């Protein structure tokens, strides 16, 4: 089957979409043969929209994010984004020999920002993620939550219209994760960046998103979508968040059970 991939670096979507994923499938060759990981995924992300991708481990969430980032190509279907997306991983992936500020400046340099402007811009981004005064700190001097804030600032330094986030808070303790949920919501609202956020945590998905998309177990297909009408700011313990989380969890359990029967 022919592949037609509209790479983020080379193509843009219409103004109605920060990302457009159309009939995308992805398979890999394994010792046991060809394995279908994603099957006929069609999904749009509107400008300024926050969408979470939810599903059991191994359902293809991260694979889909990598395809949207342009790190891999689909076996079939097309992907187009409004400019090159920025990608943030579960691990902060900061360079330990650079300071927090210099890690951000590296992204600014790659974007083509003049050397004379980089320090000020890095300081602005650190202030945006509430890390004023951290410019000169090295990675080992930062807590896990602070490292993820620097990683977020570095992603924002790319000035992308679409931010791809692959379980960025999964390794953090519950209190730090909750604080960063607040910070991410604030930054998203202040910057109007579009976000496609991968998680396996149902409450996190509901806490953050305007829309939750559930992928079935492998091969990953869109099993269900929910529009989250709960006003922001939300708390993870809010009754409305809990109620919708219960509904989504039941759907997720059903997908896992169906997968186990095959």
Q: Tell me the CATH number at 205.
A: 3.40.50.300
Confidence at residue 8, expressed as pLDDT on a 0 to 100 scale: 38
For the residues 30-47, what does the mean pLDDT come to?
91
Confidence at residue 148, expressed as pLDDT on a 0 to 100 scale: 92
Burial class (CB in 10 A: 0-12, 13-18, 19+), 227: exposed
Q: Can you say how many angstroms the Cα of residue 74 is from the centroid of all Cα atoms in its chain? A: 18
**Is the CB of residue 120 less than 8 Å from the CB of residue 201?**
no
For the residues 56-66, what does the mean pLDDT come to?
89
> Domain boundary residue among 159, 185, 201?
159
For the residues 41-61, what does the mean pLDDT come to?
93
Shared domain check, 47 and 148: no
Shared domain check, 122 and 4: no
Shared domain check, 142 and 108: yes
List pLDDT tens digits, range 174-196. Answer: 999 999 999 999 999 999 999 99
> Domain boundary residue among 159, 178, 199?
159
* Domain assignment of residue 117, given as a range: 96-159
> Domain boundary residue among 121, 141, 159?
159
Shared domain check, 144 and 107: yes
Confidence at residue 83, expressed as pLDDT on a 0 to 100 scale: 92
Peptide bond into 144 cis (omega under 30): no
Shared domain check, 249 and 172: yes
Q: What number of CA atoms fall less than 13 Å from residue 145's CA on the CB side? A: 16
pTM of the model as a whole: 0.89
Shared domain check, 177 and 49: yes
Shared domain check, 237 and 186: yes
């Amino acid at each position: 089957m022919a592949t037609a991939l509209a790479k983020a670096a080379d193509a843009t979507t219409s103004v109605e979409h920060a990302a457009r994923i159309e009939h995308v499938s992805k398979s890999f060759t394994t010792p046991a043969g060809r394995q279908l990981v994603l099957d006929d995924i069609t999904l749009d992300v509107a400008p300024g929209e926050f969408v979470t991708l939810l599903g059991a481990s191994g359902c293809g969430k991260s694979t889909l994010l990598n395809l949207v980032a342009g790190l891999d190509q689909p076996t079939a279907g097309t992907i187009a984004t409004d400019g090159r997306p920025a990608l943030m991983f579960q691990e902060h992936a900061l360079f330990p020999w650079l300071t927090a500020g210099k890690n951000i400046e590296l992204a600014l340099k790659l974007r083509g920002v003049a050397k004379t402007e980089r320090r000020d811009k890095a300081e602005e981004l650190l202030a945006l993620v509430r890390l004023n005064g951290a410019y000169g700190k090295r990675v080992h001097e930062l807590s896990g939550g602070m490292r993820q804030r620097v990683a977020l600032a570095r992603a924002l330094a790319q000035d992308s219209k679409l931010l791809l986030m692959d379980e960025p808070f999964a390794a953090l303790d519950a209190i730090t994760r909750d604080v960063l949920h607040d910070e991410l919501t604030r930054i998203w609202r202040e910057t109007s960046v579009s976000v496609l956020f991968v998680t396996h945590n149902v409450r996190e998905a509901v806490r953050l998103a305007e829309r939750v998309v559930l992928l079935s177990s492998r091969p990953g297909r869109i099993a269900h979508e929910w529009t989250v009408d709960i006003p922001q700011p939300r708390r993870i313990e809010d009754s409305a968040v809990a109620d919708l989380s219960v509904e989504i969890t039941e759907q997720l359990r059903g997908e896992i059970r169906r997968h186990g029967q095959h």
